[in-house]
Amino acid sequence: MTTNNWISVKDRLPDIGERVLICITETEFTQIETAEFIKNNLWFLSYDWNNKFISKFITHWQPLPLSPPETE
């Protein structure tokens, strides 16, 4: 079963400081990244915490999934 939990940035933004998955859509590609929402259209990408990322290309986001269960 496939579910679509993507939320348009036009409809709602994450809470400030929340880490989420973001969908970056440009003309030639679509990319999924983990980022922390700061404010307005300002995000920190998980792999580049030293640089702020402002993107008009972020179209959707969704909460991070739960971690897998621990195995013994």
Distance of CA 61 to the CA centre of its chain: 5
Q: Per residue in 42-68, pLDDT tens?
A: 888 776 656 666 677 889 999 998 888
Rounded Cα distance, 49 and 28, in Å: 25
Residue 16 pLDDT grade (very low, low, confident, very high; cuts 50, 70, 90) = very high
| Domain positions in the chain | 7-63
- Dihedral sign for Cα 17, 18, 20, 25, please: negative
Task: Kindly report the pTM of this predicted structure.
Answer: 0.77
Distances (CA, A) of 7 to 14, 21, 46, 50, 60: 9, 10, 19, 26, 5
